[in-house]
Amino acid sequence: MDYQAALAYLDEHMSYQKTGRIDSPTIEPITAICGALGDPQLSAPVIHVTGTNGKGSTVQMISRLLAAHGLTVGTYTSPHLEHITERFKRNGESITEEELGEQIGAVAEVAPLVGQNPGYFEILTAAAFRWFADIAVDVMVIEVGLLGRWDATNVVQSQVAVVTNIGMDHNEFAGPSLRHVAEEKAGIVKPGSAVIIGETDPELIEIFENAGGATSLVVGDDFAAVSNALAVNGRLLDLRTPTTIYSDVFVPLNGAHQGTNAAVALAAVETFFAAPLPDDVVHEGFGEVTMPGRFEIMGRQPLTIIDGAHNPQGADTCAEVFFGDFHPEGRRILVVGTLREPAGMLAALRADEFDMVFVCTAPTPRGIPAVELERAAKELGCDHVVAFESVEAACVRAMEYADGDDAVLVTGSLYTAGAARSTLSRLSD
């Protein structure tokens, strides 16, 4: 199957991506498909990462640390920002379009043979496992797509299971309490897994202690960013793990929360090796981390930032970084398009503290219409709100409106961040 045919096949199998609904969650289809492919998900050790926020950053940090240690690392993440190939990486390099077409073609060939009609994410996940087996990676770092227990990635047998934190998210599938969310995420813990927990609530930690027959549990008291200072283009950290203190570690990502993610990632990799890491590996690994679309600075005059915050907890962190770490002398301009909770997202982003709010429809069938966001922004007390039907139109107008001393923040979902990244890159050419 060539790349264009693969994209067409994926488009035919979009359901959740268009509706946001899963009628009967199950991992039976991907279990059967992976079995027909020879169970490629078992071809290498796995570090499996779930959590409400911080999964993407933590996955990238883990992958870079493992690669700096000399391993060949297969990394699978979701969603993508601009190109679907971004989801599949070997030591930081994306799969080629030709390779992706081949892998999706293999999944399409075996699925009917085992009586399955897989969804979009199941197809991509099976393709990722097959690619990693074909290129013989030493370790897979796999990001959960949705919660954990019924996620397509949960066919793996993880050596290390990582939980960044627990927040109220995807409550159409898990809820209404944080305990319910934690129980679903605890589904990734398997017999023999070591578990790294960034969550600090004792009642939620208890759920993981009793889940899945884990061999060991490393919790937030065992690791931390004991020093977390703002630095040029990132953070300067002292990181403590159960074995070691690593000093003056530079992480080229914005926001104090990245210190917490770094501590989780380092604890996970130490646990994977069952040993401390050499200092040079730690500094090299963290120094190589890149996170497009996560508080990414796209320009300086005006200061232009994109962030994929997609729930109120992430939006609150985004606003904290924007207002706490950056102090624009001019006006503050918010461009926002989201998939959920317009009132909650806008409040968490502190939209009423911006001088101008440009709302837009996120580029997905699940995007909240711009007119609904406009109404929610005005109800919050935003004085100057303008609605646009596309992220591109909102970004173009924001850049026309902004002066060199102003600051533009584009956020609300990874779909919004991805569309903004393409537009802003083109405008800067």
Residue 199's DSSP bridge partners are: none
Angle at 273 between CA 286 and CA 190, to 5 degrees: 105
Q: Which pLDDT score, from 0 to 100, does residue 138 have?
A: 98
Give me the mean pLDDT over the 116-132 stretch. 96
Helix spans in 252-311 (H)? 257-273, 279-287
Position 364, amino acid = T
Q: Is the pLDDT of residue 144 over 90?
A: yes
Q: What is the DSSP string of 30-98?
A: HHHHHHHTT-GGGSS-EEEEE-SSSHHHHHHHHHHHHHHTT--EEEE-SS-SS-GGGGEEETTEEPPHH
Q: Which helix (H) or strand (E) holds 195?
A: strand 194-197
Give me the mean pLDDT over the 282-308 stretch. 96
Cis peptide before 312, with omega less than 30 degrees from 0?
Answer: no
Query: Do 65 and 266 touch, CB atoms closer than 8 A?
Result: yes
Q: Helices (H) and strands (E) in the chain — how many of each?
A: 15, 17
Q: Which pLDDT score, from 0 to 100, does residue 14 have?
A: 87
pLDDT bucket at 210, cuts 50 / 70 / 90: confident
DSSP 189: -
Question: Which three-class secondary structure state does DSSP give residue 397?
Answer: helix
Residue 237's DSSP bridge partners are: 228, 249
pLDDT bucket at 18, cuts 50 / 70 / 90: low
pLDDT cut 70: percent of the chain above it: 96
Which domains can be identified in the chain, with CATH numbers? 3-287 (3.40.1190.10), 296-428 (3.90.190.20)
Give me the mean pLDDT over the 159-188 stretch. 85
Q: Which pLDDT score, from 0 to 100, does residue 132 have?
A: 98
Q: Is the pLDDT of residue 172 over 80?
A: no
Position 197, amino acid = I
Q: Which pLDDT score, from 0 to 100, does residue 23 have?
A: 63
Position 85, amino acid = T
DSSP 279: H
Instruction: Tell me the average pLDDT of the chain.
Output: 94
Which CA distances in Å does 139 have to 72, 74, 212, 269, 289?
7, 6, 22, 11, 18
- Alpha-carbon torsion (128, 129, 134, 135), positive or negative: positive
pLDDT cut 90: percent of the chain above it: 90
- pLDDT, one tens digit per residue, over 43-79 is 999 999 999 999 999 999 999 999 999 999 999 999 9
Give me the mean pLDDT over the 250-275 stretch. 97
Give me the mean pLDDT over the 125-146 stretch. 98
- pLDDT, one tens digit per residue, over 214-241 is 889 999 889 999 999 999 999 999 999 9
Give me the mean pLDDT over the 92-114 stretch. 98
Token pair for residue 126?
Answer: 């099976």
Token pair for residue 48?
Answer: 């499996």
d(C-alpha 286, C-alpha 281), whole Å: 8
Token pair for residue 13?
Answer: 């199998």
Within 8 A by CB and 6+ apart from 70, the residues are none
Q: Which pLDDT score, from 0 to 100, does residue 213 have?
A: 82
- In terms of Cα–Cα distance, which of 222, 218, 221, 200 is closest to 209? 218
Q: How many CB atoms lie within 10 A of CB 387?
A: 19
Query: Do 78 and 16 touch, CB atoms closer than 8 A?
Result: no
d(C-alpha 398, C-alpha 352), whole Å: 17
Query: Do 262 and 289 touch, CB atoms closer than 8 A?
Result: no
